[in-house]
Amino acid sequence: MLPFPFAAVFRDAVSGQTIRFYPEEEGYKFMWEGTGKLGTWRFYSNRQGNYLEIAFNYAREETYLFTVLQKEEDVITAFRIKDRSGREQEFRKV
């Protein structure tokens, strides 16, 4: 599991969208404001890299290549996600 500050909100500077992740005790939920996505998340890794998978609207799943851009004291403070079509977004801790 990647070290993630669960109390943090991350904002995309271009779109203004925000993502908030909740820990295991709260069911690994996430809120992605600006997209209307609310559901659960998980990280996994394979030889190609680290991935963030989100599930929402009961049946939808999306997978993003997850790249850590910055850490402070071994906790993620900035990251980039890339979807299957190649679209990228960078999020930084607010």
Q: Tell me if 52 sits within 8 A of 81, measured CB to CB.
A: yes
Count helices and strands in the chain by DSSP H and E runs: 0, 8
Q: Tell me if 4 sits within 8 A of 21, measured CB to CB.
A: yes
Question: What value does the mean pLDDT of the chain take?
Answer: 90
**Helix, strand, or coil here: 15?**
coil
Q: What is the mean pLDDT of residues 61-71?
A: 94
Between the two ends of the chain, the Cα-to-Cα distance in Å is 22
Look-up of token digits 């900035």: 78
Please list, in sequence order, all residues whose beta carbon lies within 8 angstroms of the beta carbon of residue 9, skipping any fewer than 6 positions away: 18, 19, 20, 93, 94
Report the predicted TM-score, pTM, of the whole model to 2 decimal places. Answer: 0.88
- pLDDT bracket for residue 70 (50, 70, 90): very high
